[in-house]
């Protein structure tokens, strides 16, 4: 995956997290739990990107 595609994916995820943060249930979690959930999603996304790069899969 190219650098710009990775950057775009990260930006899209951050925007999605921002939109979800407007939900009242998400606000009640507090900063620490929100940060923890964001880090979990970041690890999942980075892990999937690494698996795709290592396995050599390509989207055509």
The reply to whether 60 falls in a domain is no
Q: Is residue 33 part of a domain?
A: yes
Q: Is residue 10 part of a domain?
A: yes
Q: What is the pLDDT of residue 30?
A: 78
The structural domain count of the chain equals: 1
Q: Which two tokens stand for residue 54?
A: 């290592």
- Structural domain span for residue 43: 3-55
What pLDDT score was predicted for residue 26? 66
Residues of 17-56 as b/e, b for ≥16 C-beta within 10 angstroms? eeeeeeeeeeeeeeeeebeeeeeeeeeeeeeeeeeeeeee
Question: At 59, is the pLDDT very low, low, confident or very high (cuts 50, 70, 90)?
Answer: low
The answer as to whether 24 is a domain residue is: yes
Mean pLDDT calculated for residue range 28-54: 81
pLDDT at 34 over 80: no
Is there a domain that residue 45 lies in?
Answer: yes
Is this model's pTM higher than 0.75 or not?
no
Higher per-residue confidence, 30 vs 24: 30
């Amino acid at each position: 995956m190219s650098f710009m595609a990775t950057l775009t994916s990260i930006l899209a995820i951050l925007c999605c997290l921002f939109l979800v943060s407007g939900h009242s249930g998400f606000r009640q979690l507090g900063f620490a739990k929100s940060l923890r959930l964001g880090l979990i999603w970041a690890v999942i996304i980075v892990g999937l990107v690494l698996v795709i790069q290592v396995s050599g899969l390509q989207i055509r």
